[in-house]
Amino acid sequence: MRESPATLRTLDLPGGSLLPFTAKPGGRVRVLYGRVWLTAEGDMRDAFLASGEEVSISSRGLAVIEALGPARIELIETARGPSRIAHAAAALVRRARAALRRWVPRSPRPLRGAA
């Protein structure tokens, strides 16, 4: 099975620093070294992560990571394809083009070499 493409950001955090970010479902936080505390809006459970641990984000909204000491983390966001609105807009454009082709007569092409 192929994994979805992802955006990866690696960040070094000094101890005690806070990193607010916008959480999206399907995103993940991975701790490369150190220990961090993760809290996310809409999620009743906080996560305490140490080196080598990873957690998936299930809610959308503000999330904050606090480094409990020097830490290096990866923020992984799953890349999503076009939205439903983009698909609907593309389908509408295709239908409009097809309708125009049916209703607008083609102009005759001039003959080559004719003056």
* 73-84 confidence digits (pLDDT tens): 999 987 666 667
How confident is residue 43, by pLDDT bands cut at 50, 70 and 90?
confident
Mean of the per-residue pLDDT values for the chain?
84
How confident is residue 1, by pLDDT bands cut at 50, 70 and 90?
very low
Is a pLDDT exceeding 80 seen at residue 50? yes
For the stretch 16-28, what's the b/e string if a residue is b when 16 or more beta carbons lie within 10 angstroms of its beta carbon? eeebebebeebbe
Backbone phi and psi for residue 86, each to the nearest 5 degrees, phi listed first: -65, -40
- pLDDT confidence of residue 8: 83
